[in-house]
Chains A and B, each alone.
Chain A
């Protein structure tokens, strides 16, 4: 399974896209920034199974 890194842009199972801002443990769970503006930005916790794929790898 593809390893997720900090700042990777990812597609979530619910269709949202976001950026990984923290990787917890050995790919155990991730903090992901979602939303499009200060009105709805939030950081959510997701486990590996909720990440469908990496859209863009961090530099």
Chain B
């Protein structure tokens, strides 16, 4: 049992709050979330590619916090796709190139440590794909 006030408890509360928000407001669901896709390149050529400075910096944090790296990015992708259906989204931008969303999620990974992960998605012509994902500090002002 996790103690109230612990970091784990705080993440569980945050996770619960977000998922309840989607249940209460199904209009906040990511369109086509159950069939969303995430390209291999986002993981292999960006997040877990030491030759890409920006991507690698984010990948190292995912590795440290969640235990995912270039050798096991597939379950990481699977978790991001599964979570697509569970959390509400906000519209980041809408134009002729589609609607672009941001989704704050909680991932638990394989190190027993939860993480606040911001995932970006684009939706156009009935298809939804992941555009970005990175770990984000939880705001302490309650806006998360």
Residues on A lying within 8 angstroms of B by beta carbon are 6-7, 9, 17-19, 21-22, 24-25, 28-29, 31, 33, 36, 38-39, 41, 43, 45, 56, 58-59
C-alpha gap A38/B100 in the complex (Å):
21
Q: Is the interface of B mostly helix, strand, loop or mixed?
A: mixed
Chain A-chain B contacts (Cβ-Cβ < 8 Å), number: 62
C-alpha gap A56/B57 in the complex (Å):
16
B58: chain A residues within 8 A (beta carbon): 33, 41
Number of contacting residues on B, CB 8 A? 26
Whether, in the assembled complex, B54 has its beta carbon less than 8 Å from a beta carbon of chain A, the answer is yes
Verify A33–B97 contact, CB threshold 8 A.
no
Verify B53–A9 contact, CB threshold 8 A.
yes
C-alpha gap A45/B91 in the complex (Å):
13
A-B CB contact pairs (8 Å), 30 listed: A6-B41, A7-B45, A9-B53, A17-B54, A18-B54, A19-B46, A19-B52, A19-B53, A21-B42, A22-B122, A22-B131, A22-B132, A24-B95, A25-B96, A25-B97, A31-B100, A31-B120, A31-B131, A31-B132, A33-B55, A33-B132, A33-B134, A38-B135, A39-B137, A45-B93, A56-B53, A58-B52, A59-B45, A59-B49, A59-B52
